Amino acid sequence: MKRWIAGVALAVGIGGGAVWAQNGAGPVSYEQAALLASACFNCHGPEGVSPGQIPSITGFSADQLIALLNAFKADEIAGTTVMGRIARGYDDAEIAAIAAYLAGDLD
């Protein structure tokens, strides 16, 4: 069942509702979350299972993914190649949407 993603105020506990983009563009739908998350698969492998040295991103909770993406965004994780630049391209609602999708919280 497709559903809306939790609000940014509830980003730590993903659930029903809507995530609103910080720029006021409106809620991030299931389809938009899937599209945003699909970019991750280019490096992290199909469905987030990496075939090589880049870490797999499956098995993480939405909370863990949000924390990681925000740490990349704030340049708190050293030794990464492009993740800081990529993460800075997303607002809080998009990060919550990507995390919820990758964690399987949007079924």
Does residue 2 form part of some domain? no
> Averaged over 54-62, what is the pLDDT?
94
Range of the domain at 80: 8-103
| pLDDT at site 101 | 94
Q: Give the pLDDT band (50/70/90) at residue 78.
A: confident
Positive or negative, the Cα torsion across 92, 2, 62, 18?
positive
Across 3-7, 14-18, 91-95, the highest mean pLDDT is recorded for 91-95
For the entire predicted model, the pTM comes to 0.74
Does residue 55 form part of some domain? yes
Q: Give the pLDDT band (50/70/90) at residue 81.
A: confident
- 60 pLDDT higher than 90: yes
Does residue 1 form part of some domain? no
Domain total in the chain: 1
